[in-house]
Structure 1
Amino acid sequence: MTSVLAEPAPGLLRAAPIDFHKHTMGPDSLLRYLQLKVHHLAQDQNWDSIRVVGDYDRTAIISRYEKTGKLFNIERPTATAYGRELIVRAYPGADYVQHYALIIATYLAMTGRPADVVTYQPPEQQECRAALDALTLPLDGDLVIVGWGLQHLAPKEGVWTRGPGYAWQRSDIAGRRVVHLGFLHSIWGDVAGQVVARLAELGAGDVVYVGKVGSLTPAIEPNAWLATGNTSLLRGSLVSWDDFFGDFAASQGGVHSGLHVSSPSILLEDRDWLARHSPSYAFVDPEIGPMGAAANQAGIGFGYLHVISNNLASIYPADLSNERHEQVLRRRAVLVDRIRTIITLRLAGHPARSVEGTR
């Protein structure tokens, strides 16, 4: 029988597992997704206490489930054992620490183990900002392209300059100075907003985020379309930004435009969440809203052009549990090539006409 622990110590929050039967992924896909994410020490052993904190520490025990075969976003939270207590060290961000704690608690519940052992300690905003002080780039009005798929978007002949937890390369595209910036760790949720704020401090003129979103529209097949827009629902309020793409990206073939909603954790996107946000909103991810809000505050341009990677409103063979399958990777390679083409045309001041693809 599951024990009921005393209330967490001050500063700690209990991570309650979600009702996995109500999640939009369904229990089978959700469990496969969690197995890819949970640190192996939390999967292999039972603990009296598991605490998730914001502490980027690569000297701690690295998960054997970290990704391979790509340059960026390969690092998972690390862990340190103190007797029967496991401290899980995530990159400092309020959304990411909560998200990873929910991942562990839900995994334990789904595998029949006590989940009330999981707590998390949200980092202070000062800690989150300080973590990005290590990001130092010489920028002077450059366009910075950050996010996913960068090894395919950046010039193949370019050389990556490495910093602590990130790498970048500079190029010239259609007469505009462009910096491709990738992180080894996740820039989940509010961390992504801190990245935009830091880039603005360093002199960025515009920031473009390339990543993946979930669709809230049943008919949109994953890995077949791109998404863009200029407005997100962030913590209950709509935020819009000076869109780098203007109307250009939305006019291109194979691109859907719509309202976005920012969610701090995939685990919170159950069927009740979907009913509240569909059909008013088209897309969901954790980063776009915080990034747009940060760009607004800093007075720089921002835009996103994302692969639609999964569908919360309908069941398709491809979802977040099988992103590494060969067919998925092949289809996404085509979309990344389209993203590169659209960005290049936008930088060249190309008139708004469709590139190859159908709406």
Structure 2
Amino acid sequence: HTMSTFLDRYPNLEVHQALKSRVYTGVTVIGVYRRTHPSVVSKTERRDKPFNWQRPTAQVVRNHIFIECFPGKDHVEHQAEIISTYLREKQQQGQILTPPSHVSFAPSSSSDTRRALERSNLTQLPKGVHTVVLGLVHRLDQLTGPVSWDGDGGCFGWTVRQFNNRSVAFIGFRPSFWGDISGEIVRLLASKHGVREVLYVGKLVSVRKGVTPNTQLATGTKSLVGDKVVVWENVLDDSIGRYAATCVTEGTHMSVGGILHDTEDWLAKLPKNVAFVDPETGLMAQAAKESGIRFSYLHIISDNLAENNEGDLSNER
């Protein structure tokens, strides 16, 4: 695996504590967003940041444990993979926990994701927003200034600012913008809120040698999403050229459903033109294009799968 010795660290950080202490007859990952009793919140949650800290909850029903995560096809499968990987490692180490073969998942559909989003506090977003910035918005304090996030503590938080008579909403998500969830968020912003432009500021992974994590930003105008090539205009081009040309790398992106797919064999078979991978960016771009709105991304390169570095997926939190 491209994460090599770090692989055991990553699942341990993500797996719910209820899975670490006893044997269950089965583990089922389901697409349900629930954070109140009888669901039990994960102790692995990092509450030292305002967004991307909520992790799947757990509920035990007659010795069967259900792991509940925000509905999304890729998200549910990814969580099941993490749990299976963790339990397989523990089994190999001689620990008596639930056999990894007893892990399953109930697939989430795009309509499941849409329903969850339509029930969320995103419906309270103020009217008249032209541009939405998604992702690590709490790191953009030079643009937002001091922030008290609106949204009444739901799964989304936002603040709205005016730039050149344009209303810009900076929106963070307390669960994870994983895979197709991100695309459905973009679709909802376009269809229900009239948003005309989405900018995504986050992290992604390089698949090329010679790129040191956390020293470069990434952008681009093309993503491979399944068997499709999604191409768009980069609305950030002028600004990058003017202010950040030396620290931004441009390249072709590829969407991956989950980082545990990223094996050495997978890396060797990647199309040669691919520079970056992550689960969200391409699906956001595709959703924006299908919705007739503009999209661009500017990400920190936080890991490099082509070579081992101190910064990797297990410690980028």
Normalising by structure 2, what TM-score? 0.91
Contact 2:218 2:298 survives alignment (8 Å): yes
Q: How many residues align structurally?
A: 301
Q: 5+ residue gaps in structure 1?
A: 1-22, 325-359
2:144 is the alignment partner of 1:155: yes
Is structure 2 residue 53 aligned with structure 1 residue 63?
no
Identify the residue that residue 38 of structure 1 maps to in structure 2: 15
CA contact (8 A) 2:129 2:169 kept: no
User: Do 1:101 and 1:120's aligned partners in 2 also have CA atoms closer than 8 Å?
Assistant: yes
State the SS of the aligned residue for 2:100. coil
Deviation of 1:127 after TM superposition, in Å, equals 1.2
The alpha-carbon deviation at position 43 of structure 1 amounts to: 1.8
Q: Is the 8 A contact 2:137 2:170 kept in 1?
A: no
User: After superposition, where does 1:106-255 map in structure 2 within 5 Å?
Assistant: 106-112=85-91, 114-133=99-118, 134=120, 135-136=122-123, 137-153=125-141, 154-163=143-152, 164-201=154-191, 202-246=193-237, 248-249=239-240, 252-255=245-248
Contact 2:133–2:200, Cα closer than 8 Å, also in 1: yes
Q: CA deviation at 1:240?
A: 1.4
Counterpart in the other structure of 1:348:
none
| Equivalent position SS for 2:151 | strand
CA distance in 1, matches of 2:147, 2:108: 36
**Selected match of 1:85 from 58, 64, 73:** 64
Letter in 1 for 2:225: L
Aligned counterparts of 1:230 and 1:29: Cα–Cα separation in 2:
31
Match of 2:2 among 6, 24, 31: 24
Q: Please state whether the residue corresponding to 1:277 is helix, strand or coil.
A: coil
Counterpart contact for 2:110–2:180, Cα < 8 Å: no
Q: Secondary structure at the match of 1:119?
A: strand
Aligned to 2:7, the other structure's residue is in SS state: helix
CA-CA distance at 1:172 after TM superposition: 1.9
Paired with 2:65 and 2:51, the residues of 1 have a C-alpha distance of 26
Matches within 5 A, 1:270-349: 270-277=263-270, 279-324=272-317
1:181-208 CA distance string (max 9 Å, x none): 0111112000000000011121111000
1:314 to partner: Cα distance: 0.4
> How far 1:156 moved relative to its partner?
2.7
| One-letter code aligned to 1:223 | N
Counterpart contact for 1:141–1:206, Cα < 8 Å? no
Deviation at 1:241, TM superposition (A): 2.3
Q: CA deviation at 1:244?
A: 2.3
- Do the aligned residues in 1 keep the contact of 2:156 with 2:172 (CA within 8 Å)? yes
TM-fit CA distance, 1:62:
0.3
Change in 2 beyond 3 A, CA 1:155/1:149: closer
* Residue 247 of structure 1: how far off its partner (Å): 5.6
The amino acid of 1:131's aligned partner reads A
Please say if 1:266 is aligned against 2:259: yes
Report the secondary structure of 2:168's partner residue. strand
Q: Is the 8 A contact 2:155 2:174 kept in 1?
A: yes
Q: SS state of the match for residue 269, structure 2? A: helix
For residue 253 of structure 1, give the secondary structure of its aligned residue in structure 2: helix
Q: Which residue of 2 aligns with 1:344?
A: none
Greater mean deviation of Cα atoms: 123-132 or 311-320: 123-132
Cα deviation, 1:163-191, whole Å, max 9, x if unaligned, reads 42111111123443211001111120000
Q: Give distance in 1, aligned partners of 2:62 and 2:35.
A: 20
Unmatched segments (≥5 aa) in structure 2: 92-96
Identity of aligned residues (%): 38
- For 2:16 and 2:171, the matched residues in 1 are separated by 27
Query: Partner of 1:65: helix, strand, or coil?
Result: coil
3-state SS of 1:53 partner: strand
1:81 to partner: Cα distance = 0.5
The farther-off stretch of 272-281 and 314-323 is: 272-281
CA contact (8 A) 2:137 2:171 kept: no
